[in-house]
Chains A and B, each alone.
Chain A
Amino acid sequence: MNALTVFPFDVTEDRIRFQQSMIDGENGYYDTVAKKFISLSVLRSLMDNVVPERDYRITPSHERVSQSLNRIRRNLSVYQRNPSDSYAQIFLKYLSNRFLSSIPELSIDAAILYVDIVGSTKIATKLPPEDLSSLIRVFSQEMSTIVSKSAGFVLKYAGDAVIAYFPSLQGLGNMTENAIRCGRSMNIIVEHAINPAIQNLAISPLQIRASIDHGKNKIVFLGSEPDLIGHTITITSKMTRFAKPGQIVIGDGAYREISAGLAAEFIKYSDDNANWDYTSPETGKIYPIYLSKTGDA
C-alpha cells in the first residue's frame, strides 16, 4: 500500500529505530532514539489512544474526557518536578516525521489546523514558570492525542500553539472535516477536562481558538526534521486572530472541501475595517474566510 494513504501504524517495521527485545521476561521493543524499552502491552495501550478512528469526535460525556481529566491531574504535578516529555509526545512526533519522510513527492495535500490559547500572554504573567510550563505541556499532550485520533499529525508546537496537518488517509474520510471535528473535540477537552483540572491555578479558565485551511504544502527538511511550508500553512496561522474564544475560522480552501451541511454551520466573515486584506493568488481578490456559528461570538 502507498505510504501516503495509510496511517503509519506498524512502527515495529522500523527496525532501525525499534529493536525487538525482551526485558524482565516481557516482550517488546527498544526505542533506540528515546533509549526506552516499550513492552508490547504498553505499546498496545499507547496505540489505543493514538490510532485514528473515522469520524472521531468527542462529546462532553465521552469516556476520553474523564480519562483526560485523570491524566491531566496526574501530569500537572509530575511535570512541575520533572519537565520532560511523555513517551506519547515523543512517539507522536516520530509518527509525523516518519509519515512526512515517506512522501517522495515532497508535497502534500492536507488540511492545516492551528490552535492556540486565548490570552496566553496574560496567563504567562500570572503563573510561575513551573506552573506555566506544566500547563503548556499537559495542553499540548491532550491536543496532540486528539489530533492523532482525528487522523491528523502534530507538525509542531510553537509556544502555546499546536500546528497539525490532516492528510488524506485511506478509509478515514474527509481530511478537512476531520480537522474541523478535531477543533471541536479540542474545545470539549479544554472545557471539560483541562479547566476542571486547573481550577486551583490562579487563572481564569482556558479558552482556545482554531483556524483551518486546506491546500497544498511543500515538505522541506530543516536539518533532519521534516517541516511544511506554503500558502496554506501561512494563511492558516494568520486567520486565527479572527476567531473568538471557542470559535473556529476556516479559509476558502477548507470551505470548498466540506459538505453542504457542515458548510452551513459557518458564516462568511465580512470585514468593514479591512483588517483582513489577504488576497488570493488565484483570484486576485480578498481571500474569503468563514467563522463557525458556535463559540463565544
Chain B
Amino acid sequence: MPYKEAKRNGLPDLERFIQIGNRSLLIKGRSGTGKETLCFELAGNNVKEYSVVFITRNQTDKILYRRFPWIKEFVSPDNIVEISEQDAVMIDPSFVVSAIVNAITNSSKKVVDPFLSSESPKKPFIILDVWDSVSREMNAIDRMRAEKLLTSLAEKYDGFIIFLSEQTDTSSLEYLVDGVIETAQQYYKTYRIRETNLEKLKGIPIRRPKVPFTLQNGRFIAFSSLRYEKKKPSKYVPISNSEFRFSTGNADLDSKLGGGFKRGAVVGVEIDTDVNRFALVPLLSPLTLNFIAQNNSALISSSADQDIDAIVNYLLPYVDLEKLKNLKIFGHGFGASSEYIVEREGIDFEASYSKWIKTYSMLKAEKKPLLMSVDYSFVELAYPSQEKLVLNSMIENSRTVRHNKDLLVIISRPGFTSLEVMKSVCDLHFRIFDHEGTTFIAALKPQIFLCNMQSSFEVGYPQLILEDSV
C-alpha cells in the first residue's frame, strides 16, 4: 500500500545523512528500545550501495532471521559475524578489535576466480553490536584509539559504520562519529510510546529532532504528522452493523473494538486543545457516513464556531444527496434553510434542547438506529449561564440512547466541566492527543489500544488508519 510505504520513510533527515557521505553513526539507547530494528531498516534502505555486515555478540544467523525475517534479503549468513562472549571478556580486547577489523576488511571482497568478472565492489555497511562489551574491558586511551581505527576503516573502505550502545557514557565516541541518535521509550498509562531523538547529524539541518515510532511486526515505522490530502472522491461503501454492534465505519477501528461500538453505547472523545480539530474527521465522518448510507439516522450538534456547511462538506461528496434526509444538524445556518439544518441561533438552551428532543423523536419514528453526536465543550461555551442544564442533558441523552440502543458520541476538551461528566457517563473513553507533532488516539476506558492516527483518502473517502504503538 503506497500510504504505508510513504510512512516508512519517516526519517528523511537520517536517510539524507547517509546519502551525503557521512561514515559513522552512534545509536544509543537502553535495551529493547529498537536500536537493532532501526539499524536494519537503515541498512535495508541502502542495500543498493552497501553490503551489510552485522557484527554481533552472541546472536547466530538463525536467531536473527527468526527475529527479523525480512533482513534475509540483504544480510547474508556469511556477513553475520559472531564474536562470542569469551572472546570479548576472557581474552585481550585487542584480539576482539582485530577480529572486528578482519570482519570489516573481509567484506571488501576476496578474489575467488581471477578470470570471472568481479562483482562491483559494494561498500561495507557495518553494524557493530559488540562495542559495549569490548570497550568495557579497555582503558580510556586504548578505547579511543580503537574507536578511531574503526571509524577510519569505514572511511578507508568508503563504507558506513553504526555503533550500537547501551552505555550511558559514550562521550568519546559521540565526539568521533558523524551522527548520534538515541532511541528511547516512555509510558503513557499502560502503553508504550517510542521515540528517536536525532541529536547530531553532520551536514544535515534536523527538521524533526524527535520522531515517535513503533515496532509493529518487528519493523521500524516512524510516525508522521496528520495529513490532509484529499483524492478524487468516491461513494462511501458502508460496513454493515452486527446484531450487537454498530460498525465504526472504519475497518481498522472495528477490528480494535471487536466489531465496533456496542448498540446503546455512550462514547466519549476527549480531544486535547493542541490537536488539530481535523483529527476528528477520520474518526467521525466514516461513522456518520456509515449510519446515513444505510438509511439509519444521524443527529449532530455542530460546534458553535463552525458553519454547518463545513460538516456537510465532509459528508456530501461520499453519499447521494437523498441520504441526507436521515441527517439533522443543529447549528447556525446563516439563514439558509435546508432539510438537514436545524437552526438554534438566538434561542436559549431549554428551547434548543426541546427542539433536539423533538427532532430525535421524529428521526426515531421508524425505530431505526440513530447516531447522536454532540460537541459538549462548545455547548458549554454557548450557554455559560445554563451549565447545569447542559450537563444534565448529557445524562438525559445518554439514558435515551442506552434505552433505545442507539449510539451517542460526546466530544469534550480538557478544562471543561463537561469533560468530567463525560468521563463518568461514557462506556468508552478515547483521548486524542499530540505527541511530538504526531497525533495519537488512546482507548482509556477500557485500556484496549494506543495508536498513532492518520487519515487516508486512498479509497476515495475519509478513513482512519491506526498504527499500534508497541
Contact = CB atoms under 8 A, between A and B. Distances in A.
Contacts of A12: none
B110 A23 contact: yes
Contacts of A39: 110-111
B115 A71 contact: yes
Contacts of B121: 35-36
A99 to B, nearest CB: 19
Given A23-B106, A24-B106, A82 B117 contact: yes
A49 B115 contact: yes
Given A35-B157, A36-B118, A75-B117, A87 B108 contact: no
B446 interface: no
A24 B110 CA distance: 10
A82 B120 contact: yes
A42 B116 CA distance: 12
Interface string A27-60: 0001000011111001001100100000000000
A87 B157 contact: no
A74 B157 contact: no
Contact of B114 (A78, A79, A83, A87): A87
B117 A37 contact: no
A38 B109 CA distance: 9
Given A23-B102, A35-B121, A35-B157, A86 B115 contact: yes
Interface string B97-116: 00000100110111111111
Interface in B387-428: none
A82 B119 contact: yes
Contacts of A83: 117
Interface in A127-156: 137, 141, 145
Contact of A87 (B105, B111, B120): B111
A294 interface: no
Contacts of A38: 110-111, 114
B119 A45 contact: no
Contact of A86 (B102, B109, B117): B117
- The winner among B105, B110, B114, B117 for most chain A CB atoms within 10 A is B117
B156 to A, nearest CB: 9
Contacts of A35: 108-109, 121, 157
Contacts of B116: 71, 74-75, 78, 86
- The winner among A74, A87, A88, A91 for most chain B CB atoms within 10 A is A87
Interface string B286-304: 0000000000000000000
A223 B105 CA distance: 30
Contacts of A280: none
Interface residues of B: mostly helix, strand, loop or mixed? loop
Contact of B109 (A36, A49, A78, A145): A36
A86 B112 CA distance: 10
Contact of A42 (B102, B105, B112, B157): B112
A85 interface: yes
Contact of B108 (A36, A74, A79, A85): A36
A102 interface: no
Contacts of B106: 23-24, 37
A37 B106 CA distance: 8
Nearest to A24: B106
A240 to B, nearest CB: 27
A84 B119 contact: yes
A87 B110 contact: no
A23 B98 CA distance: 11
Contacts of B119: 82, 84
Contacts of B113: 42, 86
A82 B198 CA distance: 37
A84 B115 contact: no
B108 A78 contact: no
Given A23-B102, A24-B106, A37 B111 contact: yes
Interface in B60-91: none
A30 to B, nearest CB: 8
A36 B109 CA distance: 6
A87 B118 CA distance: 7
Contacts of A86: 113-118
A39 B106 CA distance: 12
A73 to B, nearest CB: 11
Interface in B39-67: none
A137 B106 CA distance: 27
A156 B102 CA distance: 35
A66 to B, nearest CB: 14
A100 to B, nearest CB: 22
A20 B102 CA distance: 14
Contact of A91 (B110, B112, B114, B157): B114
Contacts of A71: 115-116
A154 to B, nearest CB: 15
A46 B120 contact: no
A50 to B, nearest CB: 9
Contacts of B108: 35-37
Contacts of A36: 108-111, 118, 121
Contacts of B102: 23
Contacts of A24: 106
Interface string A100-113: 00000000000000
A141 B117 CA distance: 10
Given A23-B105, A71-B115, A84 B120 contact: yes
A35 B120 CA distance: 12
- The winner among B111, B113, B116, B119 for most chain A CB atoms within 10 A is B111
B114 A88 contact: yes
A42 B105 CA distance: 18
A56 B152 CA distance: 48
A219 B211 CA distance: 62
A260 B119 CA distance: 48
A38 B113 CA distance: 10
Nearest to B156: A35
Interface of B: 102, 105-106, 108-121, 157
25 contacts: A23-B102, A30-B105, A37-B108, A37-B109, A37-B110, A37-B111, A42-B110, A42-B111, A42-B113, A42-B114, A49-B115, A74-B116, A75-B116, A75-B117, A78-B117, A82-B118, A82-B119, A84-B119, A84-B120, A85-B117, A86-B114, A86-B118, A88-B114, A91-B114, A137-B117
Given A30-B105, A79-B117, 4 more contacts: A42-B113, A75-B116, A84-B119, A84-B120
* A-B residue pairs, 3 tightest by C-beta: A46-B114, A87-B114, A88-B114
